[in-house]
Amino acid sequence: MVQSVIVDRRFCGPDPVDLAMVRDKIASQYGNFVIGDVDGNMLFQVKKPGFGLHKKMILSDSSGSPILTMKEKAMTLHNRWQVFKGGSTEECDMLYIVKRSSMVQRTTKLDVFLGRNHEEKTCDFRVKGTNWLERSCVLYAGESDVIVAQMQHKKHTRHTALSGKDSFSVIVNPNVDYAFIASLVVLFDVVDRQESPKGIGSDNFEAAHIVHSLVQ
């Protein structure tokens, strides 16, 4: 049985949830996200604190109250991220760990281990990229084929290239914590852009070609 509540029960419901995620600063490694529903209501926002040496992002609700803190653990080989409750980075508040499935990957794959899974032998959830050109992904429960959510990366257009924004649509299955899913999509995007083949499939490459066509 899939564990539904990971972050908070208020983010779980009996119906599917459609999320619209928009990231700005497409040329930077850690862009800011605005995450809303299909009606245009903002649900979450993700921002990187302006100060400090740590690679950290905070997922907040529409009022700005922190829900999750995502922090990359230094000196690790698998892009290991620790996700904490609220604005904390204390070990006692760690909810789950996200890391690359292997050192070398043809497509981006992430394993997710909940806080109680100390041995990390079998993942509790996993994220699997479709291919390196599409930059979309499917999220599964553990090692099973049970899908809990799917993300579709929207292709760049002339408008998005000039506006500096990147868009994603996410379908979250019923009774699955959509704050949890939103954080996994954000981390997938970060790792996936790090792993994109140089000059191909990257934000800079796609945007540069669109902008180049505009000035011809």
Interval 202-211: pLDDT, tens: 444 344 333 3
Q: Domains in the chain and their CATH numbers?
A: 16-214 (2.40.160.200)
Span 186-213, average pLDDT: 58
- Kindly tell me if the per-residue pLDDT of 12 is higher than 60: yes
pLDDT tier, 54 (very low <50, low <70, confident <90, very high otherwise): low
Short-list 45, 58, 47, 43, CA closest to 13:
43
Report whether pLDDT(201) > 50: no
pTM value is 0.85
In this predicted model, what pLDDT tens digit does every residue of 155-188 receive, in sequence order?
655 554 445 678 999 999 999 999 999 999 999 9
What residues are paired with 85 via a beta bridge? 68
Mean pLDDT on 72-99: 90
Q: Is the pLDDT of residue 87 over 80?
A: yes
**pLDDT exceeds cutoff 90 at 32:** no
pLDDT confidence band for 24 (50 / 70 / 90): confident
Structure confidence at residue 154 (pLDDT): 81
Q: Is residue 127 within 8 Å of residue 169, measured between CB atoms? A: no
